[in-house]
Chain A
């Protein structure tokens, strides 16, 4: 039974699964590093073959690495106990899960939960509570993140190869879509506050609303943010200089 200190030691190592991310085999070193304590416990001194198995290409969303680690740990145990199909299952499970969980994780965490948490933090900051903003972001983002890691590792180990079916039952794509809708709601909730923040003086407010509207129409997908920012800086400096030359602005 692996659900011991060894297993959780391996679990903790998944926090470094991307430490040696490389273009050739991506997270292979990180995954191997994470699973080594399990392999050492299961295979004792005879762990070279198993280590080679996990030195191959590996890439998934880092938060879903523990669920794969748990399931693979269970299958390594099965293999050591003489289950003949376990080795094939290990490779099939890794190959099958890493790609799909990678895509699900990207859309769930990077494209939905992260912006949603960030917009909440932004709203808190714009309303004058930056400290609360930080706390809200870290809690709203990390509670689901850490739950996915911890529950994933335990479920993966308990289910072994059956984890594929269990993961299918959780409708991650639907969840991601709903979270994305929430993220969009959060972003647009921040819009009036940011516009107000841009122009607290009443005489500039119409200009701020106009600027926001122009930006939404003009900015196109794929334009690099840094280039956009420098373009905007140039326009701001030129406008301020012209206004200054025309005598409209003397103080900050």
Chain B
């Protein structure tokens, strides 16, 4: 893996991770955006899209409501799609499935990272509290930037470690035969699993008319395009 590629991957990954909660929130942090974009970067947009679609569906029902911290589908998407960029050997359907399977734990790790960042923010907020009490407003405006810098540092460290370890290991793996087929089916079936999961979590079954209408539109699209 080229050092420069790794550096760009970590920088791009960190930027989209910040978009998830801390800054701007244009939702470039969604897997359905990250997957195709990183796929274009790897020269395989459809494979990137397959990864993005799978992860988008899998975590669509996990919402950041109140103080609840959901798994980080962003970190998992950056990890999986980033591996397609970093390891050319993974640019097959089976390889993309393997990359997704390897990156999935990043979603849970990402939740822990988000909690860690929020706890660190608590310390910064405490310092702001002290400044307000002391009547010193000179450094207050630095607080959000300090929090951003810390979060960026943590995301960058996690991503760098992941790409170095997983990238190095997966570059040595030759996926063929039934394993490649199995990982291909895994990736292709993941959106179905995700749709079932988000349908249960978002309570999609409460709107049967919309579901039936949507199903008919989907069938129509299938007839026209497939």
Interface residues of A (CB under 8 A from B): 15-16, 18-26, 28-30, 32-33, 36, 47-48, 51-52, 55, 59, 62-63, 102, 106, 110-111, 114-115, 117-118, 121-123, 125-128, 130-131, 133-134, 137-138, 141-142, 145, 180-199, 208, 211-212, 215-216, 218-226, 228-230, 232-233, 236-237, 239-241, 243-244, 249-252
**A189 with B181: CB separation less than 8 A:** no
**A15 with B32: CB separation less than 8 A:** no
Q: What are the interface flags for B172-194 relative to A under an 8 Å C-beta threshold, 1 for contact and 0 otherwise?
A: 00001111111111101111111
Least CB distance, A227 to chain B, in whole angstroms:
9
Since A134-B37, A188-B212, A194-B53 are in contact, a sample of 10 more A-B pairs with Cβ atoms closer than 8 Å, ordered by chain A residue number, is: A62-B25, A123-B218, A184-B214, A193-B226, A194-B195, A219-B199, A219-B200, A233-B186, A239-B182, A251-B177
**B217 with A196: CB separation less than 8 A:** no
Q: List 14 A-B contacts (CB under 8 A).
A: A23-B119, A29-B128, A55-B128, A126-B53, A130-B49, A130-B52, A142-B26, A185-B214, A187-B214, A215-B192, A223-B200, A228-B58, A232-B186, A251-B177
Least CB distance, B25 to chain A, in whole angstroms:
6
- Complex Cα distance A220/B186, Å? 20
Query: Could you say which of A20, A110, A126, A141 has the most chain B C-beta atoms within 10 Å of its C-beta?
Result: A20
Interface residues of B (CB under 8 A from A): 21-28, 30, 32-33, 35-37, 39-40, 45-46, 48-49, 52-53, 56-67, 71, 92-94, 101, 104-105, 107-108, 118-119, 121-122, 124-126, 128-129, 132, 135, 137, 140-141, 143-145, 147-148, 151, 176-186, 188-204, 207, 209-215, 217-219, 221-222, 225-226
Instruction: Given the known inter-chain contacts A18-B25, A137-B32, A252-B177, please indicate yes or no for A187 contacting B198, CB distance below 8 A.
Output: yes
- Complex Cα distance A250/B181, Å? 9
**B52 with A15: CB separation less than 8 A:** no
**B71 with A134: CB separation less than 8 A:** no
**B148 with A25: CB separation less than 8 A:** no
The one of A142, A212, A222, A223 in contact with B192, judged by C-beta atoms closer than 8 angstroms, is A212
Which residue of the partner chain A has the closest CB to B48?
A: A130
**B27 with A232: CB separation less than 8 A:** no
Residues of chain B within 8 A (CB-CB) of A125 are 32, 36, 46, 49, 52-53
Closest 3 CB pairs of A and B: A188-B214, A185-B214, A240-B182
The one of B65, B135, B195, B221 in contact with A123, judged by C-beta atoms closer than 8 angstroms, is B221
**A180 with B207: CB separation less than 8 A:** yes
Query: Could you say which of A128, A186, A212, A229 has the most chain B C-beta atoms within 10 Å of its C-beta?
Result: A229
- Complex Cα distance A190/B179, Å? 27
**B22 with A188: CB separation less than 8 A:** no
**B181 with A249: CB separation less than 8 A:** yes
The one of B30, B39, B176, B214 in contact with A130, judged by C-beta atoms closer than 8 angstroms, is B39
Least CB distance, A139 to chain B, in whole angstroms:
11
